[in-house]
Amino acid sequence: MLKSIKVRDYMTRHLVTFRSDTDLFTAINRLLEHRISGAPVVDSQGHLIGLLSEGDCLRGILSGAYYEAIGGTVSGYMVTDVETISPEVDIIEVSQRFLRGRLGRIPVIENGRLVGQISRSDVLRAVKEFAQHEQGKAAS
């Protein structure tokens, strides 16, 4: 049953992260280098303090161009109101959260610390593997 599959089982654990004092262009380079559209921003203890997306970077560049002062640090452009999820939430609930909003990924928090991230593609992978497993059981 899909409710038995937890976020913990399919989340990505090794994430690209930023600190609030990371230079904006350093962050942009890392996003491009890793071919990702955003990354969590954490403090020195690993607590999530924000998210930085490609859109945030574009806003930073455009506002900087307007004021002729391009650059700055991640803290000036990151989003701080971040929806998070527990690693114990089931795949059905996280699927419903993805469908309600426009999120492509949700940071996973355990005991106040960032432990991973779950994406729409992680959920699709979980459902696909579950369906293949169920088909295999039915064929036996």
**Torsions phi, psi of 127, nearest 5?**
-65, -40
Distance CA 95, CA 124 (A): 9
> Residue 91 has what pLDDT?
92
> Residue 104 has what pLDDT?
85
> Residue 64 has what pLDDT?
58
State the 10-residue block means of pLDDT for the chain, 140 residues long.
87 96 95 94 95 91 66 91 95 92 90 94 90 71
Q: Give the chain's domains with CATH numbers.
A: 2-139 (3.10.580.10)
Q: For helices 24-34 and 54-67, what crossing angle results, to 10°?
A: 140
What pTM value is reported for the model? Answer: 0.83
